[in-house]
């Protein structure tokens, strides 16, 4: 009898514990769900407020940017007009002509009062080293440029393009082997040169062709720099090969403008051709600013 009562009491205690556990579990679960719901609502409100604040900030930034663009557009012509009037310039494409880039260069010169380019030369790339060497050997007066890495030939071409050549320019002599497009006079002196590197090595060129082309181009840039006139490398924003072109300009010691398709970039190009402080200008953290410094209005 004692054992039965003890057994019943034990069962009762177990069921009581289970009942208490269920009640406490329900209560705790309800509190947890309530806490989670409260937290979720609070976090949702916070994120909504943050999104609204960022949306307002973005709208303010867009408004300021639109105002800045309007300011640049309206001040562009008064700042660039007549800066290069009476001067002449050469345009050298290290590779095929990029029509969009050529259009921006021509617009810059036109807006600054210089008119169209005095001469334009675009090189046919990649260079075929054996074909070019055979061509040089077969033409009297060019044989001394054969048999090397074409650096000397490039320097001669750069000197002519940057400074002009009075008699029988080498550019004209090698045009059928090296030049894809040419216009204007090679003998006319110019006041500066715009350089546009449009060739980028790819898998279609052999190693020998890449090396010959790079050597020729290094020589051309060296010759341009030795001509004693400003030489500026240009690109359009986000154009194919933009970064590679800028790196090539930098390693060659050329000033550069990376956003010639914007008013500020065209102004920067005109200022550099006018003789402003050399540097790398345009968009990005690694530039020297959007444009070179220039004298204030009324300065002598």
pLDDT digits (tens, 9 = 90+) for 34-47: 655 666 778 788 88
Residue with the larger pLDDT of the pair 282 and 36: 282
**Of 218, 292, 227, 285, the residue nearest 255 (C-alpha):** 292
Q: What pLDDT, on a 0 to 100 scale, did the predictor assign at position 16?
A: 45
pLDDT digits (tens, 9 = 90+) for 61-73: 677 666 666 777 7
Q: What pLDDT, on a 0 to 100 scale, did the predictor assign at position 19?
A: 46
Q: Give the strands of the sheet with 90-94, arranged side by side.
A: 179-184, 119-123, 90-94, 193-197, 231-234, 255-257, 280-281
Predicted confidence (pLDDT) at residue 112 exceeds the cutoff of 50: yes
Average of per-residue pLDDT values in the chain: 85
pLDDT level of residue 296 (50, 70, 90 thresholds): low
**Of 43, 42, 35, the residue nearest 27 (C-alpha):** 35
Q: What pLDDT, on a 0 to 100 scale, did the predictor assign at position 59?
A: 77
**Of 233, 224, 222, 245, the residue nearest 281 (C-alpha):** 233
The C-alpha atoms of residue 195 and residue 220 are separated, in whole angstroms, by: 10
* DSSP at 197: E
Average pLDDT score over residue span 239-264: 92
pLDDT digits (tens, 9 = 90+) for 253-270: 999 999 999 999 999 999
pLDDT level of residue 15 (50, 70, 90 thresholds): very low
The C-alpha atoms of residue 128 and residue 207 are separated, in whole angstroms, by: 11
Q: What pLDDT, on a 0 to 100 scale, did the predictor assign at position 67?
A: 64
Q: Could you give the percent of the chain with pLDDT greater than 90?
A: 61
Average pLDDT score over residue span 73-86: 91
Return the CA Rg of the chain: 35
The C-alpha atoms of residue 267 and residue 252 are separated, in whole angstroms, by: 23
Q: What pLDDT, on a 0 to 100 scale, did the predictor assign at position 171?
A: 95
Average pLDDT score over residue span 151-172: 90
Average pLDDT score over residue span 70-98: 91
Average pLDDT score over residue span 271-296: 90
pTM of the predicted protein model: 0.77
Residue with the larger pLDDT of the pair 67 and 223: 223
């Amino acid at each position: 009898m004692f054992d039965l009562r003890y057994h019943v009491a034990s069962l009762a205690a177990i069921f009581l514990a289970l009942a208490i556990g269920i009640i406490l579990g329900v209560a705790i679960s309800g509190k947890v769900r309530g806490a989670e719901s409260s937290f979720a609502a609070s976090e949702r409100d916070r994120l909504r407020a943050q999104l609204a604040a960022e949306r307002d900030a973005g709208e303010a930034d867009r408004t300021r940017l639109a105002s800045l663009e309007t300011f640049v557009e309206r001040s562009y012509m008064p700042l660039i007009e007549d800066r290069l009037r009476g001067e002449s310039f050469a345009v050298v494409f290290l590779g095929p002509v990029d029509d969009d880039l050529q259009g921006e260069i021509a617009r810059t010169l036109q807006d600054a009062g210089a008119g169209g380019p005095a001469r334009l030369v675009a090189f046919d790339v990649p260079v075929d080293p054996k074909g070019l060497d055979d061509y040089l050997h077969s033409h009297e007066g060019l044989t001394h440029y054969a048999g090397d890495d074409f650096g000397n030939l490039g320097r001669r071409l750069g000197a002519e393009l940057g400074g002009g050549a009075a008699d029988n320019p080498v550019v004209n002599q090698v045009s059928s082997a090296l030049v894809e497009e040419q216009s204007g006079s090679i003998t006319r002196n110019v006041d500066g040169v715009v350089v546009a590197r449009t060739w980028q090595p790819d898998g279609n060129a052999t190693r020998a062709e890449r090396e010959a082309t790079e050597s020729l181009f290094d020589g051309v840039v060296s010759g341009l720099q030795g001509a004693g006139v400003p030489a500026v490398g240009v690109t359009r924003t986000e154009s194919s090969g933009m970064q590679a072109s800028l790196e090539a300009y930098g390693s060659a010691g050329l000033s550069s403008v990376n956003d010639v398709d914007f008013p500020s970039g065209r102004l920067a190009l005109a200022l550099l051709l006018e003789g402003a402080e050399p540097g790398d200008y345009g968009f990005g953290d690694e530039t020297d600013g959007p444009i070179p410094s220039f004298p204030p209005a009324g300065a002598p």
